[in-house]
Structure 1
Amino acid sequence: MAMWIQAQQLQGDALHQMQALYGQHFPIEVRHYLAQWIESQLWDSVELDNPAEEAKAKHLLDSLMAELQRKAQHQVGEDGFLLKIKLGHYATQLKGTYDRCPLELVRCIKHILHSEQRLVQEATNASCGSAGQALDSLSQRHQQINQAFEELRLATQESENELRKLQHSQEYFIIQYQENHRIQAQINSLATLPLAERTPRETTLQSKRATVEAWLTREASTLQKYRLDLSEQHQKTVNLLRKQQTLILDEELIQWKRRQQLAGNGGPAEGGLDVLQSWCEKLADMIWQNRQQIRRCEHLTQQLPLPGPMEELLSKLNSEITDIISALVTSTFIIEKQPPQVLKTQTKFAATVRLLVGGKLNVHMNPPQVKAVIVSEQQAKALLKNESTRNDSSGEILNNNCVMEYHQATGTLSAHFRNMSLKRIKRSDRRGAESVTEEKFTVLFESQFSVGGNELVFHVKTLSLPVVVIVHGSQDNNATATVLWDNAFAEPGRVPFMVPDKVLWPQLCEALDMKYKAEMHSGRGLAEDNLVFLAQKAFPSNNNNSNPEDYSSVTISWSQFNRESLPGRNFTFWQWFDGVVELMKKHLKPHWNDGAIMGFVNKQQAQDMLLSKPNGTFLLRFSDSEIGGITIAWVAENPNKTGERLVWNLLPYTTKDFSIRSLADRISDLNHLLFLYPDRPKDEVFAKYYTPPLSKAVDGYVKPQIKQVVPEFTTPNPEPVYMEQAASPTISNTTTFNIFPPMSDPMLDADGDFDLDDTMDVARHVEELLRRPMVNQWSSPQS
């Protein structure tokens, strides 16, 4: 309701734009009387490209009908009677329009709400500016573009007026020219008359002809000047059009594509295309009007040839403006929804292409078909050089043809590929150390259509962002690294798909932080000390540096990022980082967002931090030696030496462990863990995530509970057992094992950390856990 109240306060052009959103497809009265209901619905939760969402859209349509009927029934009085009839009519009309395609209703309302929001925001920014507040750079650019459109509109209108004057002048000139021929014919006809009769009449006609010829001579010069002036005016307009088009296509559209690319790394959404489409449509309209004017000038010149350079000038103008509209059409054939950049064979995927000027040029009158093919990096290079790649592709995509559809409610012309699947892929010969997950492909979308009654024919094509093709999920990690590096560091206008081999460490930090924030769905990204930890991991020789500035000028190469293993490990920097991201995303996201996980801390740092705290203080840090592992470090007395305090590190947990028992429950099990570093009681942090006690036994069976203990720190649990009395034997909820001497566990490496290659058999471990409560983690003291 709040948005509609603000929308009703719009003025001038903004109000006209808002009113233009409505029509028979969705009456403005429906928006007005159901404003609160419309704004309270979750329209954005419906995926328009997913046919499975049709049921959800149908429910929204039915609810809208019910709301309209309810609103109609509550109308009373004479005015209420008329409104009741009108609302009932709208309900019938909307049901008839959208009953078979309810997703189109959702598309229509989403477009209306987003457009209203944009108009209100622009009006708010403008009012702030009028109050003396500076407009931000985005608003200034938009204002500059809108002012240029107004200048173009005035110039186009002026040249139209001058063209009409020229046409009228030329038509009158032709009439006078014909009059001159008629006079000459009359003079010639006098030759048969007697001299006495012929002379006075001939004298009169000769005088009249001389007057007409003098006028024709003067008017011919005037017409030539009119034509030259008009061509100069058109040249200025063409230059303005080119400048405006450069601003929109080479800056605004390129920036939108860049945002779309960064969104693939978790950056903010690229934003809607409505504003860009409105600009491109205005451009198309202006270009087409001026092109028609130039063609009319050419016709006038052909109709009345006069000495001078006009034909050459007009031919040049026609060629220039045709090039401009050609560039506009080919550049605005874009991919609105990119195919997945890590593309697995035999897996369904989707994409959407859109022509931003399709509605304005009436392309939908003969809907074009779009074809999708997958091509290699080399083939993409050849395409951009306009070298022939006919019938060349690097694989076979099923369901790769789609007809562009025009959506009247939103004015968009697009093709939705909903069920594509890559059946097979043909790889090229790899270079050096390059693996299959470093090989880049792209999906090429092609179409052909004509405008202006086949006056101009366009063959359009556009390339997707680079995709890495995999055949197994185990390749996803390395493929994602290739995509992240490409998205983060690709330059606009590059040769496909060149990226720098080295980048500054702060640049990579920005990309990693963007990825981490996106996966955590929160604003808590990587702090400076986290980035220092990562730098120390990436550059082991600089481990003594603890200042972010120490790494500001350091470069990291692609090989260091995801080709060379970390020292003493069998995995790369990216594989370790991605393992952390996956673990957090799947199991620990709430704890990270709560600030409960410190994570990026090495063993020595954890020891220094904990030894200054009371016994029972603990923290959570990521394992250095295992991909996707997290361990608990805590400070406690050494059970083998009275008076000595040690920092202990629990065997790292992985996603397999958390699929059995959650982190919060594991921390709850360990009674020797008291305070989360620095001094927060653990229940204050984790209690809201504890699993509730087990329910009463069913059919005489008591469900056993898995519970974790650390033998060296087992203490009697003061809490009652989480089960009720039943006709089954009592089962202890703790089990103790012999204490191993420090560092004697063969599963620990020389640093007392976990060694991936020596893990116990997980299946056997889980089987034992399910059979009886037992210890499922081991501890080791800090060495």
Structure 2
Amino acid sequence: MSQWESLLKLTGQFQDNLMGLYSEELLPVEVRQYLAAWIESQDWKLAARDQSLASVHFQNLLEHLDMQYSYFSMEQNILQTYNFRRFKHDMQSRYQEKPKNLAEQIRDILQQEKQILVESQEMEIQNGQVVQEPVETGKQYEIDQRVRKVKERIQSVDQEVKFLEEQQEMFDFRYQMFQRELQSGKLQDNYIKLKTQEVQVQLNELDRKRKDVLSQIRELLGLCETLHGFLLEELNDWLRRQKLACIGADANTCLKNLEGWMTKTAEVFFHLRRLLHLLSELSKQLTYENDPLKTEPQTLQYRLNEMLHSLLQISFVVDRQPIMLYPCRRALVLKTSTQFSVRARLLVNLNELKHNVKVSYKIDKNPPNIKGFRKFNLLGPVEKSLEDVQREGLLVDYKHLTLKEQKAGGGGKGGKGATDGALCVMEELHNITFTTNFDYEGVKLTLEAVTLPFVVISNLSQFTGAWSQTGTVSCSRGRKDLTFFSNPPAAPWSLLANALSWQFSCCTERGLNPDQLQMLEKKLCGSVSKEENAVTWVKFSKENMPRASFTFWVWFDAIVMLVTGHMKNIWKDGHVMGFVSRGIEDSLLKTMQQGTFLLRFSESMRDGGITCSWVDHQQDGSYSIRSVQPYTKRELSHIPLTEIIRNYQLLAEENIPENPLKYLYPNIPKDEAFGKYYEQRSELTLEYQKYLKRRLIIVSERNIDDSQSSIASGTPQHFAETPQYDPGTPMHDSDPFQNSLDMDLNNLIDGFKIEDLLMDHTSDPMFSGPQVESSELLHDSFNAYQ
């Protein structure tokens, strides 16, 4: 897809910005539309500096306008025929004498187009949308054109060198014949003078041809240097995308195009290297005073070798970062004694290199000077050959590597023997270096590819913390050293927000929207401002949140796992609002019709919880926002959230149980939103039946306070008068279902009617709603308990 085609898909303000670039005075948009492919294939940056190239581009533009004019005439498109005739006349009048001005205008317009594309993609990322990489961007098209151009030019130079070689052979033959004639002594002076002049003319022609060939090679090297710069930029973009993909971004990490460009460019470099060597040999066969082939090929060869070595160095990459095969398939977090895989790839895919290039590895080749830094043995096949895998490239794949810690005398890292000042296990970073000796056509070079920094854990309980570490490193700009956590920089919120959204996107196939990210920003940064907020490493992963006994990352990661394991379907459908503060919840629900509810995540539960809040309007015009006790993975593993919402009941004043949850915010009927996920009654298991028959619903009224979003303990603070019940007895312990059944049994024995029991959870912002028991099913609950 060309750059122009991508731009035409923009909407809103971005489309307006695009149209603002074009005017009749600069470049008409119709010319940009119909000549898009040709315009994007030309080097306008160079033309803006080179008067002769600008003139060539200008004449070519006029020819293309003539061709388009002829096409419209044949189609009898009178309007466009008139427009293009006028366009050509205007172009000639404006730029005939100043073609560089036109080149500058088009150069600037193309650059501004790219900037608009970048801004639109950044906006889509901020909105939590998946940005699909275009099949072929304008830059990719430009690289394609440049690769094609250098391939054509090297063929042309090759023909010129062959012609020069033939010309030199012919000159040498004639010169040797003339020398033999001179040695015979039979030639007249006039003939000798004439032949000498002929030889000098031929030598001058040979000298001119040599200089012309060298000039063409210098021009070709200039094109190669520009192409090399483009390839380096494209590789850096790929490395950035790979880095983001490791933390969940839906980024395009395909290397097919880059491998093709690098391979073709390397072929040009090696071809040109052979031609320069041939030119040096020609100078040894025949030389003369001021021979340009005596010294210049060596200079050009040095310049070419620098580019070739650089291209080969950057072409050796780790195309798949270290990742465990099980149980947690997230890149850059490895566990000792657990197998993991990693893969390196040579993007210069020459047939002669297959099976002839050996690759070895070493962990922590240059370990940092950090006190207590652990050392590991990397177990697996040390040396393997690069293999040409069909459709994947020239690669070496290590599928079953294992890390084993080298035990030190003072105790293991992270244990009691850890010394003061040393980094903890999850702040300690490691890497693997792959090395290969490249040897092809006289080019001998040691190539290295290094993995991104990864964390090594010894217990799966450390996984959540380790994943936050790798995510922080990946969010940072340019920091790849192993001492990152000795002095970690603050992460810009814009990058961190994208990473958090990607976590949801890669696990649940739906990212976070701006409102959800705004709530998280306020939670981490304390406010949402126009200025760039930054989050410190301590704030993100080490320091407990206010009024909580856990960190932000522990809480956030637990919610990701809760959604992934128990409500992925309704999250993908957009039915879970999730991250929403008390104040926002109140403002959203208070104007809604009776029974409107929303689903949001609990802020008070370390292992993740989800609660349901709804609006309850009173006859006097007042309202209250009520919530159920948050459900955790323990409850949701027994009953799906959709079944809880479906069967939730509240005891009305007439002792008639009813479901207060009627409309999912803003006004979607409950059954319409969740109906496709309801269980068939015939499919309910006995385990479901036991829980569904229980109708103990906790009642709580929340003190409405829009200015706070506190983290509460979740402990009940008030009960209705219940002579037979001791308020000190915990109702909410490790298993709320079992506790409620225990209370059912005790109250039955004491002759107490359970429907009179009320509870008020004012201390927890997540709890705020009436929850009562339907005594109609109490005997069934008792029987199930028995």
Write out aligned runs for 1:523-602 (5 A).
525-540=511-526, 542=527, 548=528, 550=529, 552-602=531-581
1:388-537 to 2 correspondences below 5 Å? 394-407=376-389, 409-410=390-391, 412-424=393-405, 434-452=423-441, 455-491=442-478, 501-522=489-510, 525-537=511-523
d(CA) in 1 for partners of 2:311, 2:688: 68
Structure 1 residues 128 and 662 mapped into 2: Cα distance closer, same or farther (>3 Å)?
A: farther
Residue 520 (structure 1) shift: 1.8
- TM-fit CA distance, 1:283: 0.7
**CA 1:594 to 1:703, structure 2 compared with 1: closer, same or farther past 3 Å?**
closer
Q: Give the fraction of aligned pairs with identical amino acids, expressed as a percent.
A: 25
How far has the Cα of 1:241 moved from its partner? Answer: 0.8
What is the Cα deviation at residue 605 of structure 1?
4.6
Distance 1:693 1:243 in 2: 69
Q: Deviations over 1:641-678 (max 9, x none)?
A: x9997544433222122122221222233222332444
1:516·1:581 contact (CA, 8 Å) conserved in 2? yes
Measure, in 1, the Cα distance between the counterparts of 2:508 and 2:347. Answer: 34
Q: For residue 300 of structure 1, report the CA deviation from its aligned partner.
A: 0.6
Residue 113 of structure 1 is matched in structure 2 by none
Residue of structure 1 in register with 2:55 after alignment: none
What is the letter of the counterpart of residue 490 of structure 1? R
Question: What is aligned with 1:57?
Answer: none
Which residue is 2:161 aligned to?
163
- Structure-1 residue corresponding to 2:675: 687
Please report the RMSD computed on the Cα atoms of aligned residues, expressed in angstroms: 4.4
Match of 1:534, SS state, is: helix
Structure 1 counterpart of 2:609, one-letter code: G
**Alpha-carbon spacing, 1:175–1:498, altered in 2? closer, same or farther (3 Å):** farther
Distance 2:434 2:165 in 1: 45
Query: Could you tell me which amino acid in structure 2 is paired with residue 256 of structure 1?
Result: W
Opposite residue 576 of structure 2, the aligned amino acid is: I
- Gap change, CA 1:619 and 1:159, over 3 Å in 2: closer
Partner SS for 1:246: helix
Closer/same/farther in 2, CA of residues 467 and 662 from structure 1, 3 Å limit? same
The 3-state SS of whatever aligns with 1:462 is: strand
Aligned to 1:355: 346
Q: How far 1:473 moved relative to its partner? A: 1.4
The Cα shift of 1:299 comes to 0.6
Contact 1:647 1:781 in 2 (8 A): no
Matched, 1:302 2:284: yes
Aligned partners of 2:400, 2:578: CA distance in 1, in Å?
40
Aligned twin of 1:674: 661
Helix, strand or coil at the partner of 2:448:
strand
TM-score (norm 2): 0.65
How far 1:709 moved relative to its partner? 4.1
Are positions 1:659 and 2:637 aligned together? yes
CA distance in 2 between counterparts of 1:222 and 1:413 reads 46
Aligned pair in 2 of structure 1 residues 585, 143: CA closer, same or farther (>3 Å)? Answer: same
Task: Select the residue among 254, 260, 264 that pairs with 1:272.
Answer: 254
| CA shift for structure 1 position 581 | 1.2
Residue 315 of structure 2 is aligned to residue 335 of structure 1 = no
* 627-636 or 308-317, which deviates more: 627-636
Which amino acid in 2 is paired with 1:760? S
- Does the 8 A contact of 1:372 with 1:444 survive in 2? yes
Shift in Å at residue 438 of structure 1? 2.0
Among 734, 759, 769, the alignment partner of 1:760 is 734
Distance 1:240 1:740, change over 3 A: farther
Retained in 1: the 8 A contact 2:322–2:342? yes
Task: Supply the AA of the counterpart residue of 2:523.
Answer: K
Q: Spell out, residue by residue over 1:707-747, the C-alpha distance to the aligned partner (whole angstroms, 9 max, x if none).
A: 36453579xxxxxxxxxxxxxxxxxxxxxxx9787995776
Decide which of 300, 303, 308 is 1:320's aligned counterpart. Answer: 303
Amino acid at match of 1:539: C
Instruction: Give the deviation of 1:502 after TM superposition.
Output: 1.8
Indicate which of 235, 253, 258 corresponds to 2:240: 258
Q: From the superposition, tell whether residues 521 and 185 of structure 1 become closer, same or farther in structure 2 (CA, over 3 Å).
A: same
Give the Cα separation in 2 of the matches to 1:127 and 1:216: 47
The one of the two structures with greater contact order (alpha-carbon pairs below 8 A, sep at least 6) is 2
Name the CA distance, whole Å, in 1 between partners of 2:339 and 2:283.
58
Partners of 1:425 and 1:161 in 2: how far apart? 61
Alignment-mate amino acid for residue 336 of structure 2: T
CA shift for structure 1 position 687: 3.3
Shift of 1:184: 4.4
In structure 2, the CA distance between the partners of 1:226 and 1:646, relative to structure 1 (3 Å rule), is closer
For residues 181 and 375 of structure 2, what CA distance do their matches in structure 1 show? Answer: 73
> How far did 1:125 drift?
9.5
Taking structure 1 as reference, are residues 621 and 778 closer, same or farther at Cα in structure 2, changes over 3 Å only?
farther
Q: Secondary structure at the match of 2:599?
A: strand
Contact between 2:525 and 2:534, CA under 8 Å: does it hold in 1? Answer: no
Aligned counterparts of 1:244 and 1:127: Cα–Cα separation in 2? 19
Letter of the 1:508 counterpart = L
Residue 326 (structure 2) pairs with residue 374 (structure 1): no
- State whether residues 373 and 393 of structure 1, in contact with CA within 8 Å, keep that contact through their aligned partners in structure 2: no
> Structure 1 residues 762 and 472, CA, compared in 2 at 3 Å: closer, same or farther?
farther
In 1, Cα distance between the equivalents of 2:394 and 2:191? 62
**SS in structure 2 of the partner of residue 706 of structure 1:** helix
Name the CA distance, whole Å, in 1 between partners of 2:439 and 2:625.
Answer: 75
Could you tell me whether the CA contact under 8 Å between 1:506 and 1:552 is conserved in 2?
A: no
Paired with 2:453 and 2:571, the residues of 1 have a C-alpha distance of: 32
Whether 1:245 and 2:228 are equivalent positions in the alignment is: yes
Q: Secondary structure at the match of 1:707?
A: helix
Residue matched to 1:105: none
State the Cα distance separating 1:526 from its structure 2 match.
2.2
1:139 has 2:137 as partner: yes
Q: Following TM superposition, by how much is the alpha carbon of 1:584 offset from its aligned partner in structure 2, in angstroms?
A: 0.8
1:622 corresponds to which residue? Answer: 601
> Please, which runs of 5 or more residues in structure 1 have no aligned partner?
1-123, 188-200, 382-391, 543-547, 715-737, 749-753
- Matches for 1:53-68 after TM superposition, within 5 Å: none
Indicate conservation of the 8 Å contact 2:698/2:759, yes or no: no
What corresponds to 1:286 in structure 2?
268
Amino acid paired to 2:353: V
Q: CA offset at residue 298 of structure 1?
A: 0.5
Task: Say if 2:248 and 2:506, in contact at 8 Å, map to a contact too.
Answer: yes
Mapped contact 2:431–2:453 kept (Cα < 8 A): yes
Supply the AA of the counterpart residue of 1:458.
L
Code of the residue aligned with 1:245 in structure 2: it is H
Q: Displacement of 1:694 after TM fit? A: 4.4
Q: Is the 8 A contact 1:224 1:306 kept in 2?
A: no
